[in-house]
Chains A and B, each alone.
Chain A
Amino acid sequence: MSLPRPPKKNPILRTRAPTTPPGGRSRVALGLTTAAALGRLELQVCRDCGTVQYPPREACHACLSERLRWTAQDGAGELIADTVLTHSNDLYFRERLPWRLGMVRLDAGPSVVAHVHGDVGDAPARVRVGARLDRAGQAVLVAFPEQETKDMADDRQLREMTCDPQYRKVLVTDGKTPTGQAVVRALVDAGADLVWVGHAEPWKQYAGFDAIAGLHAVTPVPLDLTDSRAVSSLAAQIGGKVDIVVNTAEHHRTFGIGDRRGLDAARAEMDINYFGLLRLAQDFGPALKARAADGDTGACAWVNVLSVYALANFPAHGTFSASKAAAYSLAQCLRAEMRASGVRVVNVFPGPVDDEWNQLVPPPKLAPSALASAIVKALRDGVEDVFPGEVAQDWLARWRDDPKALERELSL
């Protein structure tokens, strides 16, 4: 059933404080979260005997091998029993009852406890199990109907795990760049109620901004992330209404250490990419956290457009890489501080975007529209780490395989 537009908020009623589902996990179980953060379902598979394991464990329950590797799964299985909870011992679920869950026998072997999508029929029923991050930021398994159903994303339980921009109010911090403009368009297309678009140094004219500013759902706002007072002032005006922040503001120059004397370029990068995020988080974070349980379309996400260069320095864009690494680190801090509220911090790590400052970077380059689509998809899917495009995927694979090797490859 498609989600109806939620009614306006009743200003007499208290905004409920956010709660989150149980977030405790053993370290070994975090492998599920690692994959779910990227939108993948992975289970441990024994490298010696091939047995698929669940719940996560330290040794193979069949052959006792400790060589268990997290491996992608298709999640096909059968719902063999289900229930609808009408009582829960946890505050978060108590406020969201009734809640459907079930046991699924995966074709791959193990039986798993999973949240069950409303469109799944009564047990026994074929399902496809996927991993999602819940409001605690931890991976949970969700049993979906085997075939896509209409308005599947609008399932009440599923929406608890996603950050769909539909009917939500979004702040895009910089609408002047091709990426910022593409993000604005994608959010408007996704049904965002209102998109505030940051507009720094308004005397500088950039192609396309006027077209964005003219869209019905779009309201330009003065926002320069280097200006603490401007950030505070905007937060005071709209901070209590923003449901999603998408920080597209970025300063990008193409220098390493030796080919640019002085600090001005590097400092400008840090001022926007790192300090800008800090200013934004200090001023917009508190209200966002406070409104994380504000109805069906309450505050839910914070998106940082970082760079795959945050993982390992790309010397040709050395100071930019460093500023993005700093921003990535700060984003981890933000994620930790947002965790108690359930507001999801989504970090996006694009490879080179096809824009002015990557002019001399050879293709493939990521189209701004592709980056924007990836951001909206991440919000809809509820993932936490996004590596859009071939280059980002390649870097991610190399980085996960051996960070030191990647460093050496990039230094050639």
Chain B
Amino acid sequence: MNRAKYDGVVACVPVTVPYVRHSIRGAHWFLARALRELIATAGLAKSDVDGLCVSSFSLAPDTAVGLTQHLGMSPRWLDHIPMGGASGIVALRRAARAVQAGDADVVACLAGDTNHVESFRLMLGNFSQFARDAVYPYGAGGPNASFAFLTAAYMRTYGATREDFGHLCVAQRQNALAFPHALMKKPLTLDAYLAARAVAAPIHLFDCVMPCAGAEAFLVMTADRAKRLGLPGVRILGTIERHNAFPEDPIQLRGGWAMDIDDLYAQAGVGPEDIDFLQTYDDYPVISLMQIEDLGFCAKGDGPAFVRRHTFTNDGSFPMNTSGGQLSVGQAGAAGGYLGLVEALRQLTGRPLGSTVPDARIGLVSGFGMINYDRGLCSGAVVLADTSSTTGSKPRAPDTGSTAAVRAGP
């Protein structure tokens, strides 16, 4: 099976509507600001945007459909992607195909949420039918409880320690200190991480993201159009998407990436050794470890050892979550599924808002979303490249210690 490439299409104009802990605004306000900044930056009229893709939890009862009227748009291509942390990747691959096929010329991809004081609590009880029936009545711990199970099982199975997770959190905080939109402004030490109060053991305070309000956005258009508009773009080398992978696993120790990484790297024409930085979906650090393994950067179960070998900082080895990730920036609802992608666009166009990953040409962005019952159902990943690199194959290997067994799933 030959999958069509994403030639001729670029993602561009990374936009962040600054995050705030709580807001009295509605989701529409954040999405409107994102769209306004997209067209202002791109030098487009609103009517030039003929494709719209929206992800938001707090937009309800509206969907992308209602948003068109709210914002006075008449797109000829419209999508609403309720996939939480996988939304950005799924939005990108769908928008890219639409542009490639000529169904739309310019697609605005928006993700954002407001966060009222009570929003998070109200969302938890009705997140899904399974959550309402079979999770929320058990202590109403929300995702903390669900990820406590996964974290505990992962630790027991693969020997990860709290220090391993702490190492990731501390590194991401260091990356975040330079990122102006990060809600977390203070350095984090491993001691402080370890001393934090338990929330749902083994999940402790700094393992949790802070829910907040904000939005992330980008545009998808043809490379030619981006060039005419003078917009630096990013090429899409390959994408994958998978839902409800490995349903027979009694508890989630791996995600859908493990089913699809061969396809991803084959499309992209690169291997894990070619990746200059990784943006994981980091709602909890255990999920980052799972992605490192399932995306082939080390063998399954070697995540803890891998973590101990790298710094994960932008100036060190294996730069990861280069703006600080959700753990340090905050989780603005569905925008959390865009955070890494928007940051990757900035790094690959050489315009980071924070610190720079040196010589970043190829980045991998991963998404993970929707704890419907006991596990995240949606996973996706995209390999992106700057427009100057002509191919994915580059003789660089950021992790020479683990490339031998990278492709194997458990």
A residues near B (Cβ < 8 Å) are 21-26, 28-29, 54-56, 61, 80-90, 92-93, 99, 101-103, 105, 111-115, 123-124, 134, 136, 138, 140
Contact = CB atoms under 8 A, between A and B. Distances in A.
27 contacts: A21-B137, A24-B125, A28-B133, A29-B133, A29-B134, A81-B156, A83-B201, A84-B201, A85-B141, A85-B199, A86-B201, A88-B139, A89-B120, A89-B124, A90-B121, A90-B140, A93-B141, A99-B139, A101-B138, A105-B251, A111-B251, A111-B374, A113-B149, A114-B138, A115-B138, A136-B137, A138-B137
Given A80-B250, A81-B153, A93 B133 contact: no
Contact of B152 (A22, A28, A82, A90): A82
- 9 interchain residue pairs of minimum CB distance: A90-B140, A83-B148, A55-B134, A29-B133, A81-B149, A105-B250, A81-B153, A55-B130, A81-B152
Contacts of B149: 80-83, 102-103, 113
Interface in B193-240: 197-203
Given A55-B129, A89-B141, 5 more contacts: A23-B137, A25-B133, A85-B139, A86-B200, A93-B140
B314 interface: no
A85 B140 CA distance: 9
Which of A61, A80, A81 has its CB near the most chain B CB atoms (within 10 A)? A81
Interface in B137-151: 137-142, 144-145, 148-150
B139 A86 contact: no
Contacts of A136: 137
B133 A113 contact: no
Contacts of A115: 138-139
A123 B132 CA distance: 25
B153 A85 contact: no
Interface majority SS on B: helix, strand, loop or mixed?
mixed
Contacts of B126: 24
A84 B142 contact: no
A115 B135 CA distance: 10
Interface of B: 120-121, 124-126, 129-130, 132-142, 144-145, 148-150, 152-153, 156, 197-203, 247, 250-251, 373-374
A174 B150 CA distance: 54
B66 to A, nearest CB: 25
Contacts of B140: 21-22, 88-90, 92-93
Contact of A55 (B125, B133, B200, B251): B133
A97 to B, nearest CB: 8
Contact of B134 (A21, A54, A88, A89): A54
Contact of A25 (B132, B150, B202, B247): B132
A85 B247 contact: no
Contacts of B374: 103, 111, 113
A88 B130 CA distance: 19
A101 B247 contact: no
Given A81-B150, A102-B149, A103-B374, A87 B137 contact: no
Contacts of A99: 139
Interface centre among B129, B132, B148, B250 (most CB of A within 10 A): B250
B247 A61 contact: yes
A61 B145 CA distance: 25
Given A22-B136, A29-B134, A83 B152 contact: yes
A93 B144 CA distance: 14
Contacts of A123: 152-153, 156
B372 to A, nearest CB: 9
A56 B133 contact: yes
Contacts of A86: 197-201
A83 B132 contact: no
Contacts of A92: 140
Nearest to A61: B247
A229 to B, nearest CB: 43
A90 B137 CA distance: 9
A114 B139 CA distance: 10
A144 B142 CA distance: 23
Given A86-B197, A101-B139, A113 B152 contact: no
Nearest to A142: B138
A280 B227 CA distance: 81
Contacts of A134: 137
A89 B142 contact: yes
Nearest to A21: B137
A113 B150 CA distance: 12
